[in-house]
Amino acid sequence: MLRAIAVVLTSAALVAAPVSAVAEDGPELIPGGGFEGTTQPWFVTQDMSAANTDGQLCVDVPGGTTTAWSSIIGVDGVPIVKGQDYDFSFTAAAVSPTPVVIRALVQQPVSPWDATFEANPSLGGDETEFSYTFNASLDLPAAQVVFQVGGADEPWSLCIDDVSIHTGDPAEAFVPETGTRVRVNQVGYLLTGPKHATLMTDAADALDWTLRNEAGDSVATGQTEPRGDDSSAGGGVHVIDFSEVREVGDGFTIDADGQASHPFAIGDDLYDRLRYDSLQYFHLVRSGIEIDVPGYEREAGHLNVAPNQGDTAVGCQSPQPFMQNWTCDYELDVRGGWYDAGDHGKYVVNGGIAVYQLMSAYERTLTASSTTAGAFDDGTLDIPESSNGVPDLLDEARWELEWMLRMQVPAGEELAGMVHHKVQDDSWTGLPLLPADDPKARQLHRPSTAATLNLAAVAAQGSRLFAPFDAEFADDLLAASRTAWDAANTTPRLFAPAADGVNGGGPYDDDDVADEFYCAAAELYLTTGEPAFESAVLDHPLHTADIYRIAGFDWGHVAALARMDLATVPSELPDRDEVVASVIELADKYADAQQTQNFGQPYAPISGYGWGSNSSILNNMVVLATAYDLGGDARFSTAVVEGMDYILGRNAMNNSYVTGYGTTYSHNQHSRWFAHQLDADLPSPPPGTLAGGPNRSIQDPLAQQTFTTGCADQLCYLDDIQSWSTNEMTVNWNSSLVWVASFVADQTELEAVASVKPAPNDQLPLVLVGGGLVLVALIVVMVLRGRGKKSD
């Protein structure tokens, strides 16, 4: 998931933009692609026989294979020059009961089979010509052109002809189809909340707008507010404000500048379902358990059932120079946990922040006043553990926590108490591939200080939350947390190298773990109240530092998590009032950033939209929501609610980035098993799945080939399964959605200021404002220490 991999991965392929006219074709580079009386020099895998039929290469493709690359047609010796533009075309026809999707690649002829081009054409019974243009990202003196045709349940037949590659003109600039220029939250607007839409137009003057109900009747009218050019959106924008509307209903639309928006609702219960759909996602990405949810059924993955080599007895990565040739001689049972993203890897640092955010969403129901009682109680989800007397959210979190415990180095071994950074395949697999069909060897990667501190933090957090429900498990978590804390302090600079992302999984490299130490110390203090951990918090440089990042917190920057928990979880921290003030100050900066944006997002990165920009936006909203819980300032709650507008359709793409929500939404996120785009027998991602979102770095080949002339930040997005840098799904992106969706579901009266619980012996701190002393509102002070004292 959230990893900036510089290499081109076999699993990350591309579809080129349509071919432009070529003034003069270069020489033909494909040998024998016309199949004039022979199939030579083309080859096929041993499960097929190539026949020349009427000047075509035809094969009978066997059924019952598990992967696309089980059956291959190909040719070697195609010279490809990095940076050169090429035209690639072929004709194909299938004899099959249903359309068949194949993979057409230009790739390395040897492992790791890196591809400089991939297309995924869907074949029917009629002979069809497919044409593409691509710019080579690799130098391949003797590239291999292959058609991967395996993976079908039933046998079928294929004929190809006129396979051609030659140099050509660059692809035309890609222009996304974004539909209506009136951009709205396609789910809807809370009755008492902010209501804004954005009109994409270069008009200099204000324009008329009309809000219509489902019957088409006018409900409200007004004029747009011109905002000028928005460089992130690639054009001029106007903002429409209809916040005063208080009519409940579905099917509202806004007309402006000759355009009508997608329909949306107005009401006070629009986010209840999203709270649970986004959380249910985690059950569907579990490893090591059969999934029997209708529509998403699959066998348990990585339990040593062939072809799996499994996670129940995984050895360590073979010695690698970038790991100082580290390895180990033991095996660990690391079954369970969540698959991190679109691959089958499981990463502690990413799983750590994801499980933290789920547990934080639950803990908020215990500490904040504007929450829905019992929102995550037992029976609120469809998971096997429902009806066991434990809140379902904690049951889901436990699945990941137990896996993280298994990743800890056993006593008596070198680096005992440290935590392995990740477990993954020994090399990349392609798409689609169900977890149970993954044939690759699994391997543990070297422990890291970052992973160790992640376990220390979330195990301590989990210990206090599980204590009322399972004291034994809570004790196990705390013991593991203490062990990890001690191990990290003994080995404080063991980092995961960036080079450990070439094969099979992302590196998640992080060579600054000061924030992880701070976060672990905070969670251990909040759970135990012990002086040693209190000192570790108070003495840490980050405790009083400015931790503002416009890109938000993430798996590699977790100081804000510590600061927010120190502010919200009851404790006797001596400077808790200053901590609360710092969180509110942090939220002020995000609210200020939001005011500069035309689509409601609290996100304005100078360097442009980055990997997982949607998660960055949501995490900034977490800070805003936390500040609202602390002080009741309605500015923060309305900022969170308006931030959801961007996520759910009020953006330059006119796209809801949450599957199943809105009129036009992402549904082809990068995944090996939610892969309906490539295999009609597999499902699309489930409702409530968040897409990573626009990413101007466009690291994947598909995005690179599509955006050959660049893209405005918000338009650097493709809803395609192969665009892993803009459209991946990940556990830590969905965890941010769970947290925010739950907060927004709780906001039914946005004008009201949250009430707080008073406590005795509070004193009013003085804050210097504009050269004069003013009292901080009593409501803030009550929150500082007024939620009860921690018992020893």
User: What pLDDT score was predicted for residue 15?
Assistant: 34
**What is residue 282's three-state secondary structure?**
helix
Q: Is residue 5 assigned to a domain?
A: no
Please state the domain count of the chain.
4
Tokens of 349: 């640092």
User: What pLDDT score was predicted for residue 658?
Assistant: 98
Q: Is residue 727 assigned to a domain?
A: yes
HSE-up (13 A, CA, CB side) for residue 224: 28
User: What pLDDT score was predicted for residue 114?
Assistant: 84
262 and 405 belong to one structural domain: no
464 and 348 belong to one structural domain: yes
245 and 315 belong to one structural domain: no
Contact at 8 Å (CB) between 706 and 718?
yes
676 and 772 belong to one structural domain: no
Pick from 241, 265, 360, 341: nearest CA to 730:
341
130 and 232 belong to one structural domain: no
Q: Which residues are catalytic?
A: 343, 670, 719, 728
63 and 48 belong to one structural domain: yes
pTM value is 0.84
Q: Which of 267, 293, 328 is the last residue of a domain?
A: 267
Q: Which of 267, 283, 318 is the last residue of a domain?
A: 267
CA 712 to centroid of chain Cα atoms: 21
Q: Is residue 35 assigned to a domain?
A: no
Q: Is residue 276 assigned to a domain?
A: yes
Pairing between β-strand 188-190 and β-strand 264-267 as defined by DSSP bridges: parallel
474 and 569 belong to one structural domain: yes
CATH number (domain holding residue 239): 2.60.40.10
Consecutive 10-residue runs of the chain (792 residues): their mean pLDDT?
31 33 69 95 96 95 87 96 92 87 92 86 89 89 95 91 91 89 98 97 98 98 98 97 97 98 96 97 98 97 94 95 92 98 96 98 95 94 97 98 98 97 92 93 97 98 98 98 98 95 88 98 98 98 96 96 98 98 98 96 94 98 98 96 98 98 98 94 97 94 87 97 96 98 91 35 29 30 30 28
Distance from C-alpha of 240 to C-alpha of 237, rounded to nearest angstrom? 10
Q: Is residue 509 assigned to a domain?
A: yes
436 and 454 belong to one structural domain: yes
Give 654-689 pLDDT, tens digit per residue: 999 999 999 999 999 999 999 999 999 999 999 999
User: What pLDDT score was predicted for residue 751?
Assistant: 57
Q: Say which residue the tokens 């100082």 belong to.
A: 324
Distance from C-alpha of 367 to C-alpha of 10, rounded to nearest angstrom? 47
Expressed as residue numbers, the domain containing 780 is 756-792
Q: DSSP labels for 634-671?
A: HHHHHHHHHHHHHHBT-STT--BSBTTSSSSB----B-
286 and 352 belong to one structural domain: yes
Q: Say which residue the tokens 């809370």 belong to.
A: 190
Q: DSSP labels for 758-772?
A: --TT----EEEETTE
- Residues contacting 132, CB < 8 A, separation 6+: 15, 16, 17, 18, 19, 87, 88, 89, 117, 119
Q: Is residue 34 assigned to a domain?
A: no
HSE-up (13 A, CA, CB side) for residue 376: 29
726 and 780 belong to one structural domain: no
742 and 780 belong to one structural domain: no
User: What pLDDT score was predicted for residue 760?
Assistant: 29
Dmax (CA) of the chain? 95
Strand partners, 728: 670
383 and 354 belong to one structural domain: yes
CATH number (domain holding residue 328): 1.50.10.10
CA 325 to centroid of chain Cα atoms: 32
Tokens of 724: 């892993």
Distance from C-alpha of 781 to C-alpha of 758, rounded to nearest angstrom? 9
Q: Is residue 176 assigned to a domain?
A: no
Tokens of 468: 């009322």
Pairing between β-strand 422-425 and β-strand 447-448 as defined by DSSP bridges: unpaired
Q: Which of 267, 287, 316 is the last residue of a domain?
A: 267
**What is residue 473's three-state secondary structure?**
helix
Q: Is residue 1 assigned to a domain?
A: no
